[in-house]
Chains A and B, each alone.
Chain A
Amino acid sequence: MRKVSAMDEEIARVVQAVYIAADPSQDRALHSQALQYLSNVQQNSETWRLALSLFIEVAPDGTRKHSPQVRLWALRILEDFLDER
């Protein structure tokens, strides 16, 4: 069985937060909690690594592993990282 790394756990949390943030029907408190979490993640200077994985990771069947919402969020992080350095 594959050992789940800290990076994988972080990716799973971010993916969940993006889904919640992108869904307006979610509970209001949960929605703002997700937005706050994503905002905190964005401020971390090492988030670009996570964003790169989210954007380019490929599933075993050759398709992209993550959904368009998650990949767009990741792409924005990469763009900001390169733009603001």
Chain B
Amino acid sequence: MRLYFFFRSFAVRGFTLGTCTLGCMQFDIHRFYFGLVDLNLETSRFLSYLRVEPLDENTFQILQQGLFTYIQTEFVFGPAERSATCTSQYLNPICYSIDLLVTDSPPKQILAHSVPIFRLCLPFSISDLLQRSFLPYPTS
């Protein structure tokens, strides 16, 4: 996944140079410098990703289960941190932690995230769904 972001960034930065109708490079020093700085940042992020030690299986499972259960109980079924004075105080760090857990996982662990992620999209089982009072007709 990091690989995708890296190449996407590379492609976007490549366009910052552009060419004029005669085929020579349009040289806007500010855009070029901005693109170079950003490309440098992305490259260093990507290189640090290559050095990431995969979490051991036990740690990975505990973290994944804990964080995804938290999202489900709090944001799918629960009050979405209503008691917090400012929701972003939790949301920003929790999003960043999940981003790190998911996108910095080695390929064999990335696939393991797909099941809990899709489970978040399907919060109700069929029997649960049939018993919900919002259905306009009796189900029994």
Question: A residues touching B (Cβ–Cβ < 8 Å)?
Answer: 48-49, 52, 55-56, 58, 62-64, 68, 71-72, 75-76, 78-79, 82-83, 85
Contact = CB atoms under 8 A, between A and B. Distances in A.
Given A79-B96, A82-B101, A83-B100, A71 B90 contact: yes
Contact of A85 (B55, B62, B67, B89): B55
Interface of B: 52-53, 55, 59, 62-63, 66-67, 69-70, 73, 78, 83-85, 89-90, 93-94, 96-97, 100-101, 104
Contacts of B63: 48, 52, 78, 82
**Chain A's interface: helix, strand, loop or mixed, by majority?**
helix
A71 B104 CA distance: 24
Contacts of A48: 59, 63
B90 A75 contact: yes
Given A64-B83, A71-B90, A79-B93, A49 B104 contact: no
A79 B69 contact: no
A55 B93 CA distance: 12
B97 A63 contact: no
Contacts of A68: 83-85, 89
B53 A58 contact: no
Given A68-B85, A75-B90, A85 B53 contact: yes
13 contacts: A52-B62, A56-B67, A58-B73, A63-B83, A72-B89, A72-B93, A75-B94, A75-B97, A78-B63, A78-B97, A82-B100, A83-B100, A85-B53
B90 A82 contact: no
Nearest to A58: B73
Contacts of A76: 93
A67 to B, nearest CB: 10
Contact of A56 (B69, B84, B85, B101): B69
Contacts of A72: 89-90, 93
Nearest to A85: B53
B53 A79 contact: no
A51 to B, nearest CB: 10
